[in-house]
């Protein structure tokens, strides 16, 4: 019998779940309770899982959805023999610098640069630096709900372009792999307001991998995105996790964004394993080029007069 305990960790979101043995399948009742706690608290921390095997990590993650086999990622970033596990690590691989050593360095929702942003992820900490290497999540439902009704109306029908080339630190990665990532992920359009398929609540889909808002000029787009991103990631909506080896953090990617902080000594290993749960197909390929510039608008006006 499990002695399941759920302890809230933050106001914006976050709860710790103890009393589970994740090396074994969860019974139906326990699974339901954990799933409901997840929908409620959005980010769950499961401590004490340092020795989980990849197969057990995968089996646990399947409680929360079908797993992604990471077609959008370069194969050398996946765990050998397990396409379901992405290795987020600063440890060299096959004698080369790791291609995921700076993964997640700007605010993002996983795979928003694809037609199928992830539903969720379960990230397991295998090794960590003595201090730092924290991750922060922002609650985008709160962000949406605390906008004025007027601003909610303004963004209601807006769509934005998400672009993999805005992943911070791409220029430090292998150019051939970056080119491959670009090929796999041309720019895509997503609505700025998402409706959570399970809770029905609206959230704001912004983040630092958005290049522009469709239909606005470059200046309008940057100003509005700047405001929305700053609002969404303000401290009141953020949960910050200080990792312990063996923590699994499970997050709902349908209503959050996150950032992996480089606040640690990079000579020390930080080694994480991630399973991602597949999201629903949501976006469409971006057709148009970049937003209109002010110069173009002036030209348009000039030609009309
Ligand atoms: O390393 C981390 O803390 C998170 C990196 C990240 O963005 C991810 O795994 O989705
Ligand atoms: Fe991420």
Going 138 to 196 to 167 to 160, the CA torsion angle's sign is negative
Structure tokens at 52: 């989980």
Which ligand lies nearest to the CA atom of residue 135 in the structure?
A: 1
The residue contributing the CA closest to ligand 1 atom 6 is 104
User: Percentage of residues in the chain with pLDDT exceeding 90?
Assistant: 85
Residue 259 alpha carbon, nearest atom of ligand 1: 7
pLDDT for the residue 71: 82
The residue contributing the CA closest to ligand 1 atom 2 is 260
Per-chain mean pLDDT for the chain = 95
pTM (whole model) above 0.75: yes
Apex 109 CA angle, 202 and 41, nearest 5: 60
pLDDT for the residue 288: 66
The residue contributing the CA closest to ligand 1 atom 4 is 260
- Mean pLDDT lowest among 1-5, 69-73, 117-121, 259-263: 1-5
Domain ranges within the chain, ordered by starting residue: 5-287
Confidence label for 1 from pLDDT (cuts 50, 70 and 90): very low
Q: From the CA of 259, how far away is ligand 2's center (Å)? A: 7
pLDDT in tens, 107-165: 999 999 999 999 999 999 999 999 999 999 999 999 999 999 999 999 999 999 999 99
Q: Which of 87, 256, 260 to mutate to test the pocket of ligand 1 (most atoms within 8 A of CB)?
A: 260
**Enzyme catalytic residues:** 108, 110, 258, 274
Q: What are the angstrom distances between the C-alpha of 55 and each of 38, 136, 297?
A: 22, 27, 56
Q: From the CA of 251, how far away is ligand 1's center (Å)? A: 11
The residue contributing the CA closest to ligand 1 atom 1 is 260
pLDDT for the residue 133: 98
Residue 121 alpha carbon, nearest atom of ligand 1: 10
pLDDT for the residue 2: 59
Closest CA to 275 of 66, 16, 12: 66
Q: Which of 87, 119, 272 to mutate to test the pocket of ligand 1 (most atoms within 8 A of CB)?
A: 272
Does pLDDT of 203 surpass 60? yes
The Cα–Cα gap between 120 and 110 comes to 8
The residue contributing the CA closest to ligand 1 atom 7 is 104
Is residue 122 within 8 Å of 56, Cβ to Cβ? no
Is residue 161 within 8 Å of 206, Cβ to Cβ? no
CATH 3.30.565.10, applies to 5-287: no
By three-state DSSP, how is residue 271 classified? Answer: strand
Q: From the CA of 144, how far away is ligand 1's center (Å)? A: 23
Say which residue the tokens 């409680």 belong to.
63
Q: From the CA of 108, how far away is ligand 2's center (Å)? A: 6
């Amino acid at each position: 019998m499990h002695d399941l305990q759920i302890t809230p960790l933050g106001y914006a979101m976050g709860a710790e779940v103890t009393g589970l043995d994740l090396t074994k399948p969860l019974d139906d009742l326990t699974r339901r309770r954990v799933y409901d706690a997840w929908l409620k608290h959005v980010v769950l921390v499961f401590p004490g899982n340092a020795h989980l095997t990849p197969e057990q990590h995968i089996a646990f993650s399947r409680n929360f959805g079908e797993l992604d086999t990471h077609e959008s990622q370069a194969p050398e970033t996946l765990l050998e023999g397990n396409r379901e596990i992405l290795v987020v690590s600063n440890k060299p691989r096959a004698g080369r610098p790791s291609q995921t050593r700076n993964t997640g360095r700007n605010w993002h929702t996983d795979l928003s640069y694809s037609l199928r942003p992830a539903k969720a992820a379960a990230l397991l900490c295998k090794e960590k630096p003595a201090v730092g290497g924290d991750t922060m999540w922002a609650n985008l439902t709160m962000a949406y709900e605390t906008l004025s009704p007027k601003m909610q109306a303004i963004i209601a029908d807006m769509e934005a372009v998400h672009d993999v080339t805005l992943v911070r630190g791409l220029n430090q990665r292998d150019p051939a792999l970056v080119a491959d990532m670009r090929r796999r992920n041309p720019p895509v359009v997503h609505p700025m307001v998402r409706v959570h398929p399970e809770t029905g609540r609206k959230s704001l889909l912004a983040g630092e991998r958005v290049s522009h808002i469709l239909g606005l000029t470059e200046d309008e787009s940057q100003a509005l995105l700047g405001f929305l991103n700053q609002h969404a990631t303000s401290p009141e909506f953020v949960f910050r996790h200080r990792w312990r080896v063996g923590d699994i953090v499970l997050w709902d990617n349908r209503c959050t964004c996150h950032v992996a902080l480089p606040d640690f000594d990079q000579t020390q290993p930080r080694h994480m394993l991630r399973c991602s749960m597949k999201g629903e197909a949501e976006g469409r390929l971006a057709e148009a080029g970049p937003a209109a510039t002010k110069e173009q608008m002036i030209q348009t006006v000039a030609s009309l007069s």
